[in-house]
């Protein structure tokens, strides 16, 4: 086994240590992951993404906007009521999260409330 193959195998072994099959854990007492969209606006017009197509969004009557900090805090406070932490909190969905001027403040608040498990990939030596 090459050095690279061993490092990849070690990484996968450590990464899967907290793995649980969803089907074996239903119904869930706590969501495993959550997507919160700080902004559903984006200044790009990627051809594969509906967010950049203003006419498509208009046809679905989907308004664009920036989430308020108070709404974000309300969501995070609700998530902190669960017995367990989320495995993953994604602060992006349809838009560019950095379009929200409170994005860094939101990250700090969610981290302070401790609603999601931190993920630290195993340390690997550079190749």
Estimate to the nearest angstrom the gap between the alpha carbon of 126 and the chain centroid: 27
Number of domains in the chain: 1
Which helix (DSSP H) or strand (DSSP E) does residue 33 occupy? Answer: strand 33-35
> Would you say residue 87 lies in a domain?
yes
pLDDT value at position 9? 78
- pLDDT tens-digit series, residues 87-119: 889 998 888 899 999 999 999 999 999 998 864
Collapsing DSSP states into helix, strand and coil, what is residue 60?
coil
- pLDDT tens-digit series, residues 69-88: 999 999 999 998 888 889 88
Angle between helix 69-79 and 103-113 (nearest 10): 20
> Would you say residue 49 lies in a domain?
yes
Q: Write out the residue range of the structural domain in which residue 65 sits.
A: 31-113
> Would you say residue 67 lies in a domain?
yes
| pLDDT, the chain, mean | 82
């Amino acid at each position: 086994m090459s050095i690279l193959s061993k490092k990849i195998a070690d990484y996968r072994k450590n990464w899967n240590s907290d793995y649980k099959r969803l089907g074996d854990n239903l119904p869930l007492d706590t969501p495993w992951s959550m997507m919160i969209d700080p902004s559903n606006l984006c200044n790009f017009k990627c051809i594969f993404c509906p967010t950049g197509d203003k006419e498509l969004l208009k046809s679905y009557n989907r308004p664009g906007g920036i989430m308020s900090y108070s709404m974000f805090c309300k969501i995070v406070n609700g998530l902190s009521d669960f017995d367990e932490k989320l495995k993953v909190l994604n602060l992006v969905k349809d838009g560019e999260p950095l379009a929200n001027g409170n994005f860094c403040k939101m990250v700090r608040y969610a981290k302070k409330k401790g609603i999601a498990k931190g993920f630290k990939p195993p340390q690997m030596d550079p190749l």
